[in-house]
Amino acid sequence: MGEADPPVPPVVLASASPRRSEILRMLGLPASVRPTRVEEARLPHETATAYVERLAREKALGGAHGDPEALVLGGDTVVVLDGDILEKPADTGEAESMLLRLSGREHDVRTGMALSMGGRTWSLVCRATVRFRDATAADIRQYAATGEPLDKAGGYGIQGYGSSLVAEVQGDYYAVVGFSVVGLVWLLEQAGYSLAFPGLERLVTHRRAP
């Protein structure tokens, strides 16, 4: 008889984002949520890509503190327009200003992801280009009034009411949501794990054969 697979380590999400939790549940990887506080301030001359990757790594490392055997996932997302980084708006007025800038234009979305386990950390950045339709000021005010933009980079959620503003997506849709599925698969592979899809049973993660 072959040896049984080792037990799957606990999966920890170092983020309070409900969207990231939903994506993990969709893949059969329900995770305990352990948000970590990191200073989300861009360093001098730091590119948007380097910025989101650094924040994702810091979040994953913070979540791994005291639990080195867990699979700890961190992520961060920003919108880039005209070289400016648009993060979460502070209030409804700032959300409206962001959305007016995005209206009728293309912008880049960059999501940094990291996985820490056993003292090692792997990370990557996934990207997409999003084009907004020509939205009126009234459209934008109505959307901002829902409150949805306030916890989302760039002031919109593509998986929610904000989808009404999006005309086209090129690249990784889930990077826009905030947690790339393809990126997650790659990170698990670096740690020696892969997703398995055993019929209708709950999805599991298992150690890959050497």
Q: Are 195 and 205 in contact (CB under 8 A)?
A: yes
Residue 33: its H or E element: strand 32-33
- 82 labelled catalytic: no
Residues 187 and 79: their CA atoms lie apart, in Å, by: 23
DSSP state of 180: -
Active-site hit among 67, 76, 82, 84 = 76
Q: Which helix (H) or strand (E) holds 189?
A: helix 181-190
166-171 and 84-86 strand pairing? unpaired
Neighbours of 158 (CB within 10 A): 21
Q: Are the C-beta atoms of residues 177 and 158 closer than 8 Å to each other?
A: yes
- Checking DSSP bridges between strand 71-81 and strand 106-117, what pairing results, if any? antiparallel
CA angle 35, 40, 50 (to 5 degrees): 105
Residues with active-site annotation:
76
